[in-house]
Amino acid sequence: MNPAGFEPLIQAAREVLGHREISEDVSCGGVAAALLTDKGNIFRGVCIDTACSMGFCAEHAAVSAMLTAGESRVKAIVAVGGDQKVWSPCGRCRELLWQLGALDCQVLVNEDTVVSVRELLPYR
């Protein structure tokens, strides 16, 4: 998949992006993610930030939504930050994708670069 093919995913992530204060200890939405499954479905998620560090990344939320819906094969994924730009996944998200078996999943790491999870973790 080339970077232009990620536009529907970028748009889907931007639709749920938006920092929100939930309580004194929890905020969410500063980062949003969207993934495409092998069945052609798009799942989205936002990050959850907590005062005690028990939150999780937007990619984890999108994967959770996918798994909840009964799917498990990620074809492509993207994360978008509060600045509306594409962000590369953190190490924890990369590891989650690896453990899901999504080694050939295409990841947009910036506006013009697509790599596989395998390429993100060459020496796992």
Tokens of 93: 């998200």
Q: Which residues are catalytic?
A: 59
In the chain, the domains with their CATH numbers are 3-119 (3.40.140.10)
Please state the pTM of the whole predicted model. 0.95
Query: What does the alpha-carbon distance between residue 87 and residue 102 come to, in Å, rounded to a whole number?
Result: 19
What was the pLDDT predicted at 1? Answer: 85
CA 99 to chain centre: 15
| Band of pLDDT at residue 112, cut at 50, 70 and 90 | very high
Question: pLDDT tens, 1-23?
Answer: 889 999 999 999 999 999 999 99
